Amino acid sequence: MDKLLIRGGTPLNGTINVSGAKNAALPILAGALLSAEPVIVRNVPQLKDVATTITLLQSMGVEVTFDDKLNVELDASNVTQRRAPYELVKTMRASILVLGPLVARFGEAAVSLPGGCAIGARPVNLHVEGLEAMGAHVVVENGFILARADRLAGAHIVFDTVTVTGTENLMMAAALADGETLLENAAREPEVIDLARFLTSMGANISGAGTSTIRIVGVDRLGGADHTVLPDRIEAGTYLVGAAMTGGKVRLNRASPQTLEAVIVKLQEAGARIVTGEDSIEIDMGGRRPVSVDIRTTPYPGFPTDMQAQFCAMNAVAEGVGTITETIFENRFQHVLELQRMGADIRIEGHTAVCRGVDKLTAAPVMATDLRASAGLVLAGLAAEGDTLVDRIYHVDRGYERIEEKLRQLGADIKRVPN
C-alpha cells in the first residue's frame, strides 16, 4: 500500500489545471447503460472510482474504449449482465448508480447492497422507495437489491432528505419511464445539472435540474451523446485551501468558480484574496496566516460536506477559534483524531468540531480513513513542520487525480513511497 511522504513548510505557488468532476463522471458513466447507442464522455478524471465504475460496466458487457486518456467511449448495445457484485460495490458505494438505468432499460437489476461506510450509515432507502413509487418490485435477498419492472411509470416523488445520488438514480430511471416524474426536494448540486445535460443530449426530456423540483417526461428510447464533464469543484477547493494554509498563491485553470461560491466566501473570510475569471480562480494569501472560520455543511448551494475536512485542517493552523458543524453525515470527523496527533487543538462536541488554531502543526505518521479526510491530512502535512507520512492513500486516489504531481507542480515537497 503506497503512502505519501510530505515535507511541510513550503507555500503552494503556481498554476495547475482542475480535473473533471468525479461526482459527475460516475453517474454519467452509469447513464451510458440507458442507451444502445455509443456515448462519448470527455474530461473523465483518471481516478480509482472511475476505474471501478468502468470495470463494473465492462462486467455487464458494456464495451469501453479510451480514445485518449481522458475521453471514454461506451457502447451498451450488448449488456449481458444486470448485476453489480459485492466486490465492486463494497469499494465504491456510487455503484448504486447503475440501479436506476438497469431497471429502466432492461426491467431488472441486482445490485449488492452497500454495507457500512466509514463516514456513517449512508442508507439507500430513498433510491429504492423512489423506484417502488415508479412501479418497480424490489426485494433484498442474499445481500442484493433485486428490482424488477415491466416498464417504470412516472411518479411524484418527494425526497425526505436531499440525496445527490438518489436524485441522479431516479432522474435516470425516469428518463425512460412511461409518463411524467416529478422529483421534489431534489439535490441541486452542479453534478446533478451536468448529468441532466448529458441525459438531455441523449434525448431525455428534463427540466428544472439545479432547482429542488425536477420534471422528467419519459421517452421510449435514448440515443448517443458526446458530453464533456464539468470541472471538479471539490478538487479545486482542496488546492485553494492548500494555498490558504501555506500562505501561498495559486491559479487554477479549467475551473468552475460559480460552483464554488460557498467555499470562496469562507476563504475570503479567512483572509484570502480571490480573483475569479470565467474558468479560472486565483488565490493569494500573501504569506499571511489564515483566520479561523465557522462552517456548517448543508446541501448545495450551501457549504459542501466534501470540503469539511480540508477546512478543519485549515482551522487547525489558523488564528483564533473556529467551529465546523457537520449536518450531512453523522461520523465524518475521523480526520480530527489524526489532526490531534499532529498537535491540533480540536475538540468534538456532538456534530461540531471546535478548533483553536495552533502556530504550527508537527509532522506525524497519520492514517487516511476516507476520501476527504485524507485530503485534509495531506493539507495538514503541507503546513506542518517536518515529514508527515500519510498511510492508506488509496482513499486519496479514489478522488484526486495525480495529487502528488499537481502538488509538486505547486512547489510542494511530496512523494509517493511504496510500502
- Positions touching ligand UD1 (CB under 6 A) are 23, 26, 93-94, 121-127, 161, 163-166, 191, 305-306, 328-329
Residue 89 contacts residue 131 (beta carbons within 8 Å): no
Which amino acid does the sequence have at 193? Answer: I
- State the nearest-atom distance from the C-beta of 373 to ligand UD1, in Å: 12
**How is residue 227 written as a grid cell?**
458530453
Cα separation values, 381 from 101, 277, 309, 370, Å: 41, 30, 13, 16
Cβ nearer to ligand UD1, comparing 119 with 379: 119
Summary count for the chain: helices (H), strands (E): 14, 24
Residue ranges of the alpha helices (H) in 78-178?
86-89, 99-106, 125-133, 164-175
The CA-based angle 331-335-339, given to 5 degrees, is 145
Distance, in Å, from the CA atom of 172 to the CA atom of 359, rounded to the nearest integer, reads: 49
- State the nearest-atom distance from the C-beta of 285 to ligand UD1, in Å: 27
**How is residue 128 written as a grid cell?**
429504492
Cβ nearer to ligand UD1, comparing 306 with 404: 306
CA 407 to chain CA centroid, nearest Å: 20
Burial of residue 216 (CB within 10 Å: 0-12, 13-18, 19+) is buried
Cβ nearer to ligand UD1, comparing 162 with 366: 162
Catalytic position from the list 5, 79, 117, 354: 117
Cα separation values, 362 from 6, 144, 277, 309, 317, Å: 12, 46, 36, 18, 11
- State the nearest-atom distance from the C-beta of 96 to ligand UD1, in Å: 8
- State the nearest-atom distance from the C-beta of 208 to ligand UD1, in Å: 18
Number of CB atoms found within 10 A of residue 417's CB: 10
Q: Active-site residue 312, yes or no?
A: no
Phi-psi sector, 72: left (phi>0), alpha (psi -120 to 50), beta: beta
Cβ nearer to ligand UD1, comparing 92 with 317: 92
- State the nearest-atom distance from the C-beta of 159 to ligand UD1, in Å: 8
Distance, in Å, from the CA atom of 85 to the CA atom of 194, rounded to the nearest integer, reads: 27
Cβ nearer to ligand UD1, comparing 3 with 22: 22
- State the nearest-atom distance from the C-beta of 162 to ligand UD1, in Å: 6
Cβ nearer to ligand UD1, comparing 124 with 363: 124
Distance, in Å, from the CA atom of 238 to the CA atom of 123, rounded to the nearest integer, reads: 27
Active centre residues (catalytic): 117
